Chain A
């Protein structure tokens, strides 16, 4: 089981160049996609979900029986695809069960099997008690859980989830992260989010995307190792803060009595009293997305 993204570029009709020469190879496990807004993550996921076509390049899906170009044979992937888009909607006048039954039929799942699976999934996402209520009355978090359930309906081999924990409360987020980890041992999971801790706790590999290009793709440990000796904390006078920020990437500032405590990502010691700190994934993200892409490559 392998998904290969080969030199994919995407330019929209409006002129927006969303992806450029993007290449990546995925195997079973969770891939975390991180990048700023407008980096091209959602476009990449739309292409992988067979919703839109790349302008150039190709995506190959190898299911063990054959290697398919998904632009030419989209159904080879769609049969094993679970997709939770960032902005998905529901039919507000259908109940959760009716909506999931509908999507199960669309995905070609046998009626009796679908009923059983829907029941299990509704238990899994903690919606058993609300399953006959109209979706229009659901909160954002409940709707998101319906979305998660529909993505898992067909027991997908490739699961693409875009901002899946948006709107979930902390407990539900933990449940969902654990669920993704459990699912990932025999399938490919692509997780896009702005919440770095979600990626840190679930992803085997992290792909950092910026300006439509792949900046780097490494394991969380490798990413943290690249940051050794690059994270500092220093105390600077408040009046110097503005000038300091213009020259350094700051990942945190706290005002205290002795001055402003600033966490800095920098190749060299940024201030005379700066002390090296253990790196966090947020520091790594900040470092890599601000590095010119050519250097990162």
Chain B
């Protein structure tokens, strides 16, 4: 009863918020790409014929990739929202148990994922119709792959989101970064291993089933060949796949993820502290004494108010002018506030290594740079988002010309942190007169700061940058074309990244300008419209 109430209210609340609709819009775009053949599922130059099962299988695999990655970030804020809005304090004072509450949140997460997956389900018949395979529409054929692949994976991800929200470390930005690693491992395990019981996202089962169908029809396919995305071939070998057979073993293997999900909710209960403002992590690691902060007993502030206005300094005109580098210094302080000391130690060691004389088998400057530019991801992720929190927004945005004073200074702070945090590498490039690498160093730093500020400004959250940047960095490390902004893979695109950075920064400025100076923006637009009208009138 309680669990159902939590799930119902949370689901209603989420379904009335924009992120779910944005996720559904992106899902619809992916479906469109799939229908026009730009994103599809293939195996070693062969694919299934366009019957209902294969169309839905294609969509189910795409849906699962999307739901387990992007939608994880959409759903992982149920508990956090209760904490931020204060609803959590109301709930904490009721007899509702932690497990019931978290199970409710997990069910709500699951329901949201299912709702988003319906976009893919609805697209499956369109895909089949578009491909003109001549096969009849079969309801079970459409539902079958979703039941096997998407539904259990959604249940699993729904519970992982709950764990990530309750664990004291994972609920912070670190969790967003770590999830990318978890997701990559999940896909690797499902795609590369031969174990059905570790097949979290269902890809192994899909490959096994389709491989069996292809082999039975005389088509030789590698057992681990699943390509999701754009694929071209001069000639496709096709086979008929009618969906999953759902033998009792298959049912058990997929039902396993519902039990794992329930177990994960139980684990989350252990970390969940019922919105206690003085909660401590369930597992505490002791820091070395020299890294520990001193915590004295703090007495509550007391004292009388000074009421003599004459004691205040009178402001003159010069003090009202903004000073760019003072704001940059303040922004750097704000961004670095709360960064654990051990991170400085890590960065210091890496910079020291970069300054060492280059050895044949030693780390390259670009290699150290790649490492140095993933460590501070949580610092950059605050850019553009911090000042948009509900408590800070009225204070920052009510200041005159805040978008001209604050946003460029914040960008400069992020840029300087990127350069300063990798100064050792920069000096190494300079000493070795590697001008090309030096260009990559500058353009990379500018790109990071611009991407961070654009993500934060547009999404008003730290998560978009954390997810996008970590994914970008991961692709760069894997030598994806044009993605390497560090130069570690030998790719160098300094001008491309300068231009991209410039566009991103301009978009952030435009957003902030519209948000804070809407009146001026509307005036400019009105002026532009009037100008156009006048020009038309003259032309006539």
Contacts and interface: CB of A to CB of B under 8 A. Distances in A.
Contacts of B295: 13-15
B276 A89 contact: no
Contact of B93 (A16, A38, A51, A87): A51
B9 A85 contact: no
Interface stretch (B82-90, B203-211, B506-514, B520-528): B82-90
Contact of A78 (B4, B13, B16, B95): B95
Given A38-B302, A85-B89, A93-B13, A79 B296 contact: no
Contact of B297 (A17, A46, A83, A150): A17
B2 interface: yes
Interface string A19-52: 0000000000000000010111000001001111
B2 A91 contact: no
B90 A150 contact: yes
A108 interface: yes
A280 interface: no
Contacts, number: 122
Given A52-B278, A106-B96, A88 B87 contact: yes
Interface stretch (A97-105, A195-203, A215-223): A97-105
A126 interface: no
Contact of A17 (B87, B274, B280, B298): B298
B84 A89 contact: yes
Contact of B280 (A13, A90, A98, A210): A13
Interface residues of B, number: 40
Contacts of B86: 85, 87-89
- Most chain B C-beta atoms within 10 Å of own C-beta, residue among A93, A101, A245: A93
A11 interface: yes
B277 interface: yes
Nearest to B96: A106
A181 interface: no
Interface string B92-117: 11111000000000000000000000
A257 interface: no
A100 B301 CA distance: 38
B366 to A, nearest CB: 42
Nearest to A78: B95
A98 B12 contact: yes
Contact of B1 (A79, A103, A108, A245): A108
Interface string B253-287: 00000000000000000000011111010000000
A211 B2 contact: no
A83 B85 contact: no
Interface residues of A, number: 49
A96 to B, nearest CB: 13
A12 B12 contact: no
B6 A106 contact: yes
B300 to A, nearest CB: 4
Contacts of B85: 89-92
Given A17-B297, A102-B8, A88 B89 contact: yes
A8 interface: no
A91 to B, nearest CB: 4
Contact of A91 (B87, B96, B307): B87
A255 to B, nearest CB: 13
Given A14-B295, A93-B13, A78 B93 contact: yes
Contacts of B9: 91, 94, 98-99, 102
A51 B298 contact: no
A40 B94 contact: no
Contacts of A39: 300
A90 B87 contact: yes
Contacts of B1: 105, 108
A46 B299 CA distance: 19
B192 to A, nearest CB: 42
Interface in B1-27: 1-2, 4-6, 8-9, 12-13, 16-17
Interface in B62-84: 81, 84
B13 A94 contact: yes
A85 B275 CA distance: 13
Interface string B321-361: 00000000000000000000000000000000000000000
B178 interface: no
A126 B1 CA distance: 29
A2 interface: no
Given A50-B93, A99-B9, 18 more contacts: A13-B280, A38-B300, A49-B93, A50-B92, A79-B95, A88-B86, A88-B89, A91-B12, A91-B87, A93-B12, A93-B17, A94-B13, A98-B12, A101-B5, A106-B5, A106-B94, A134-B16, A211-B302
Interface of B: 1-2, 4-6, 8-9, 12-13, 16-17, 81, 84-87, 89-96, 274-278, 280, 295-302, 307-308
A-B pairs with lowest CB-CB distance, top 10 = A89-B85, A105-B5, A89-B86, A93-B16, A102-B9, A38-B300, A83-B93, A88-B86, A15-B295, A91-B13
Interface of A: 10-18, 36, 38-40, 46, 49-53, 75, 78-79, 81, 83, 85, 87-94, 98-99, 101-103, 105-108, 134, 150, 210-212, 242, 245
29 contacts: A12-B278, A13-B280, A13-B295, A15-B296, A15-B298, A16-B300, A17-B300, A18-B300, A39-B300, A40-B300, A49-B93, A50-B92, A51-B89, A52-B276, A52-B278, A83-B89, A88-B86, A88-B90, A90-B87, A91-B12, A93-B16, A94-B16, A98-B9, A101-B5, A105-B1, A105-B2, A106-B6, A107-B95, A134-B16
